[in-house]
Amino acid sequence: MFHKEGAKIILFAVAATAILTLIVGEFVSIDWLRTTLLVVILFFLIIILQFFRNPKREIQVAHDTILAPVDGKVVVIEEVYEPEYFKDKRLMVSIFMSPINVHVTRYALSGEVKYSKYHPGKYLVAWHPKASEENERTTVVIKNDHFGEVMYRQIAGALAKRIVNYAKEGTYAVQGEDAGFIKFGSRVDLYLPLGTKVDVVLDQKAKGNKTVIAKI
């Protein structure tokens, strides 16, 4: 199953693949060259399709649990100062997504959306220390009965050129539902209350809707 954000790109890619395949079949007479070109064309179509895949992962909503919002690798677990909303120290858990990861952002927990803001910015590599402050990003804060206010931030990377955010202030976010999409490489930072005991470690592979980040 594919994510709706990829509909136009997938249609374009399929059409382009069909046209290029016809052109190669008609005008390239050298067997090895024709085969090579067809394989390359098919390869790029597969890359597009796998990038926009949206595997359905059913969950039992747990209000005392924070799940990974995205697929990727845990690259940061540390206390940081959060200047935009909390203006105090928080425990940040950062998950980096490579281009081959699923790029759907899912709500890590249920609660009321208290804050949602888009910030235009640069396109530094996603693991750059300044990426969370200078790159294109969205900031969302959800108020949960068990954890209080928890922030997550979608951050564009060097290849990401569009962040899609579905969270709207005043609405209720349901854990596990689609919260947005980041096109072509990125990361997501979670900002948890200090003292939160996390259940992941550095370099661990996380899976959205499956991996438990923290639990009370």
**Which of 66, 10, 57, 60 has the alpha carbon at shortest distance from 178?**
57
Are 177 and 54 contacting, i.e. CB atoms less than 8 angstroms apart? Answer: no
What 3-state DSSP class applies to 161? coil
Instruction: Kindly list the distances between the CA atom of residue 195 and the CA atoms of 26, 34, 128, 212, in Å, as whole numbers in the listed order.
Output: 65, 60, 26, 16
Closest CA to 64 of 202, 173, 185, 214: 214
Judged by DSSP in three states, 120 sits in: coil
Query: 19 Cβ partners below 8 Å, 6+ apart?
Result: none
Could you tell me which of 212, 191, 81, 210 has the C-alpha nearest to residue 140? 191
Note whether 73 and 96 are within 8 A (CB). Answer: yes
Residue 140's beta-bridge partner residues? 116, 152
Polymer length in residues for the chain: 216
Number of C-beta neighbours around residue 158 at 10 A:
17
Active site residues: 186
Write the CA distances from 54 to 7, 47, 182, integer angstroms.
12, 14, 12
